[in-house]
Amino acid sequence: MTTPVVSVTPETGVSEVARLLLHRHISAVPVIDADGRLVGVVSEGDFLRRAEGDSHRHGSWWLRLFSEPTDNAAEYVKTHGRSAADVMTRDVVTVTEDISAGDVAHLLETKRIKRVPVLRDGKVVGIVSRADLLRGLAAQRDTPTATASVEDATIRKQILEEISAGDWAPTYGVSVVVVGGVVQIWGIVDSQEQSEALRVAAANVPGVKSVELNVSIIPAYAWSM
């Protein structure tokens, strides 16, 4: 999974959510209330519906005959609302940390979704996307004789803690895969310096045999153009 998780509150403005998605290089963000509960997700799809709102507001007269006023009202809120709570998708599929990668892949396929939040004690601790699954699969294929162990899990935990503790950490978050002591780091960084900092942070953790960086360097300003 990708961690740490960028989130917003139900009261966060729509324009602020849009800027956050651009700045953090992400396509969706969980919405978390004051009690730390996941209440929804705002994705690029929600903004696409918003962009289409005015062009489809009238629709075909014969389709309106079969539309329920309640459905039309809900659609109006999504396309004209000004807060995350207005535009978010409320029916969110989630998983826990102990689910297998195969089960996550099956869930994404059957539910036709691109990502799923990971919960621990009811709190969001990460997000697994289709890209994360591909990264894990690539790591396993690169080391066919090795399997992830308890020690690998410990190494991964220490690396993530070191990254999250630094004020240099990438704004997007990274995905870390450890198999047989070999670390693969995936994600998007703002600079070569951030990339090197990730390498050093991983290499300094006891038990790490080698570090492979699979990151793309995309400055934050490039996403706001």
* Band of pLDDT at residue 24, cut at 50, 70 and 90: confident
Structure tokens at 157: 């935990």
Mean pLDDT, residues 60-66 taken together: 52
Segment 3-18 shows an average pLDDT of: 90
User: Is residue 67 scored above 80 in pLDDT?
Assistant: no
Q: Per the confidence metrics, is the pTM higher than 0.75? A: no
143-225 carries CATH number 3.40.720: no
The closest alpha carbon to 153, from 201, 97, 94, 106, belongs to 97
In this structure, the number of other CB atoms found within 10 A of the CB of residue 120 comes to: 11
